[in-house]
Amino acid sequence: MAGDNGNEELRIGVYVCHCGSNIAGVIDPKVVAEYASTLPGVVHATDTLYACADSGQSLIKEDIKKYNLNRVVVAACSVKMHEPTFRAVVAEAGLNPFLMEMANIREQCTWAHGHDPEGALEKAKDLTAAAVAKASFLRPLDMIKVPITKRAMVIGGGVAGINAALDLGDQGIETILVEKQPTIGGVMAQLNKTFPTMDCSI
Partner 1 sequence: MVDAARHPKVDVRTYTEVERVEGFVGNFKVQLREKSRYVIADRCNGCGECAKVCPIEVPNYFDMNLAPRKAIDVPMSQSVPLVYSIDMDACIHCYKCVDACGKLEAIDFSMEDKLVWEDVGSIVVATGYSHFDPSVMPEYGYGRYPNVVTAIEMERLNNSAGPTAGNLIRPSDGANPKRLAIINCVGSRDKRFNPWCSNFCCMYAIKNAILLKQAYPDMDITVYYIDIRTPSKGYEEFYDRARKMDIHFTQGRPSLITEDPETRNLFVHSEDVALGRVTEREYDMVMLNQAAIPQPDADEMSSVLNISQSPGGWFMEYHPKLRPIDTPTDGIFLAGACQGIKDIPASVAQGSAAAARAGRVLHAKEWEIEPVVAVVWEDRCISAKGKKCGLCAKACPYGAIEYEVGKAAHVVTAKCHGCGGCVAECPHNAITQLHFTDAQILAQIHALLAEKPEEKILAFRCNWCSYPGADLAGTSHFEYSANERGLRVMCAARMDADFIYEAFRLGAGAVLYSGCHPQDCHYITGQRVGARRAERLLKAFEKMGMTPGRFRVEWISAAEGDKYARVINEMQATLDSIPKEKLLEEIERLRPQMEKRARRMRETPQVEKALEYSRELETAMTGKEV
**Distances in whole angstroms, Cα of residue 70 to Cα of each of 2, 3, 10, 55, 73:** 12, 12, 7, 20, 10
In the complex, what is the shortest distance from the CB of residue 192 to partner 1, in angstroms, rounded to a whole number? 4
Mark the segment that binds ligand FAD (CB under 6 A) among 77-85, 116-124, 146-154, 180-188. 180-188
Q: Report the residue from 7, 144, 195, 200 that binds ligand FAD according to the rule CB under 6 A.
A: 195
Measured from the CB atom, the residue of 59 and 86 that comes closer to partner 1 is: 86
Secondary structure of residue 179 in the 3-state scheme? coil
Pick one of 83, 122, 126, 179: the residue that binds ligand FAD (CB under 6 A). Answer: 179
Binding status of residue 185 toward partner 1 by CB under 8 A: yes
Minimum CB separation of residue 40 from ligand FAD in Å reads: 54
The site map against partner 1 for 113-152 (x = CB under 8 A) is: xxxx--xx-xx--xx-xxxxxx-xxxx-xxxxxxxxxxxx
Q: Which does 104 bind (CB under 5 to 8 A by kind): ligand FAD, partner 1, none?
A: partner 1
DSSP structure class, residue 186: T
200 lines the binding site for ligand FAD (CB under 6 A): no
User: Which part of the chain contacts partner 1 (CB under 8 A), choosing from 13-21, 48-56, 67-75, 111-119?
Assistant: 111-119
Q: Tell me the C-alpha distance between 32 and 36, whole Å.
A: 6
* Residues between 101 and 160 that touch ligand FAD (CB under 6 A): 155-160
Q: Beta-carbon neighbour count of residue 102 at 10 Å?
A: 28
Helix (H) or strand (E) holding 175: strand 174-178
23 SS3 class: helix
Count Cβ neighbours within 10 Å for each residue of 35-69 and write b for 16 or more, e otherwise.
Answer: bbeebebbbbbbbbeebbeeebbebbbebbeeeeb
Contacts with ligand FAD, residue ranges (CB under 6 A):
155-161, 178-181, 186-188, 191, 194-195
